[in-house]
Amino acid sequence: MIWFSFASPIVMVVAVWVAYRIGKRSRDQLNQQQGPGDLGHAKVVVQDLEQISQQVRRSLVTHHASIVQFKERISKLTETGDAEALKELSREAEQILQPTIQLASQIAHAYDDIRQHTDQLSSPEQLRTDPLTGLSSRRAMEDILKMLFAMKSRYDTRFAIALVDIDGFQKINDEHGHVRGDEMLRSFAATLDRTVRETDVVVRFGGEEFVVIMPETDLSGASVFGQRLRKSVRDELQLAISVGVAEARDGDTLKSLHARTDSALYSAKAGGGDAVFQHTGRHIEMTRPLKQVALPPTGDNACDEITATTTGV
């Protein structure tokens, strides 16, 4: 009886995730039982699209104003020939570059969201599935994380998440077009889905960002997974990725957990990419690459493999 009390939370988590994966494979049957999207769903999609367009519009207006002001300063300083002022202008140009990159990323995410929302009008089931990659969607991720937080509160289970971003993906779109970019996203999604355990869930968060939800996994294990995924993607697709990981802590919410993971990912990107950073709850640190890393197991025997491995940091 004592053993059952200890094991039941783990068994319940595994059972839930096996059921989820079986449900994922049965999606076609569910789609046959559901009719086309109703009017209420269409209204929700329209509202979401309006929010996306308004957000992008505000960002464009703000960014355009700063560009116009910067252009006027260039004209004046060119006429005066003030060398010191020109140096200061060069520094300001660097400051403007970062918002430009962020705006480009925002527009790319908006493009992806609009396409997803348009596809979702045809079937409510698609709200839980990314139409491009076939992975779980952001909507499904929120439901899954709410369940895991409830399990953590009730049974003191643990789980971690990884936020993964493809380095230099915008350049792929710019140089080869969105068709090639979509092909790359599908290939990356397939590699990612093969790399995780059966009990893990892979989510396309938006654009070139993906989330991996890992039940019964601590921070160290999540970091190990990040390094293994980084190696696998480099070997199979010749791509570099940045990964941020964090473990759910007492008192966490969906927002706070994602914020820590996002901060870790930002640190990886800011350091030049091709790295894994973890947020310990107090600070962010880079994890060392693993030596002679084997691909993580993907079968039913892999449930405890990640948890038992350490990063050596």
102-148 pLDDT, tens digit per residue, is: 666 666 666 666 666 555 555 555 567 888 999 998 888 988 999 99
Strands 241-247 and 275-279: parallel
Judgement on whether residues 161 and 83 belong to the same structural domain of the protein: no
Judgement on whether residues 218 and 76 belong to the same structural domain of the protein: no
Judgement on whether residues 145 and 292 belong to the same structural domain of the protein: yes
Residue 238 belongs to a domain: yes
Residue 265 belongs to a domain: yes
Judgement on whether residues 282 and 141 belong to the same structural domain of the protein: yes
Closest by CA position to 229, among listed 216, 243, 215, 218: 243
The token duo for 38 is 């109703």
Judgement on whether residues 139 and 263 belong to the same structural domain of the protein: yes
Could you report the per-residue pLDDT of 218-228, keeping only the tens digit for each?
999 999 999 99
199, 189 contact by CB (below 8 A): no
Residue 101's pLDDT is: 63
Judgement on whether residues 81 and 139 belong to the same structural domain of the protein: no
Task: Please give the DSSP secondary-structure letter assigned to residue 282.
Answer: S
Residue 284's pLDDT is: 96
In the listed set 83, 102, 122, which residue is the last one of a domain according to the structure? Answer: 122
Which helix or strand (DSSP H or E) is residue 232 part of?
helix 219-237
Instruction: Please give the positions annotated as active site.
Output: 208
Intervals of the chain under pLDDT 50: 1-8, 11-16, 18-19, 21-37, 293-313
Judgement on whether residues 224 and 252 belong to the same structural domain of the protein: yes
Q: In angstroms, what CA-CA distances link 151 with 1, 47, 50, 273, 295?
A: 20, 32, 35, 34, 29
Task: Please give the DSSP secondary-structure letter assigned to residue 157.
Answer: -
Strands 241-247 and 159-166: antiparallel
In the listed set 122, 152, 180, which residue is the last one of a domain according to the structure? Answer: 122
DSSP 42-73: HHHHHHHHHHHHHHHHHHHHHHHHHHHHHHHH
In the listed set 98, 122, 146, which residue is the last one of a domain according to the structure? Answer: 122
Helix, strand, or coil (residue 202): strand
How many structural domains are present in the chain? 2
Cα 107 to Cα 276: distance, rounded to the nearest angstrom = 26
Looking at residue 112, its amino acid is D
Residue 20 belongs to a domain: no
Q: What is the pTM of this model?
A: 0.59
Judgement on whether residues 142 and 89 belong to the same structural domain of the protein: no
What domain range includes position 88? 39-122
Residue 311 belongs to a domain: no
Judgement on whether residues 148 and 241 belong to the same structural domain of the protein: yes
Residue 14 belongs to a domain: no
Residue 148 belongs to a domain: yes
263: domain CATH number?
Answer: 3.30.70.270
Residue 21 belongs to a domain: no
Strand partners, 213: 161, 201
Residue 312 belongs to a domain: no
Cα 194 to Cα 112: distance, rounded to the nearest angstrom = 24
298, 288 contact by CB (below 8 A): no
Judgement on whether residues 172 and 298 belong to the same structural domain of the protein: yes
Cα 111 to Cα 128: distance, rounded to the nearest angstrom = 18
The token duo for 130 is 């990314």
Judgement on whether residues 137 and 229 belong to the same structural domain of the protein: yes
The token duo for 135 is 């992975």
Q: Provide the b/e sequence for 226-262 (b: ≥16 CB within 10 Å).
A: bbbbbbbbeeeeebebbbbbbbbeeebeeeebbebbb
Judgement on whether residues 135 and 271 belong to the same structural domain of the protein: yes
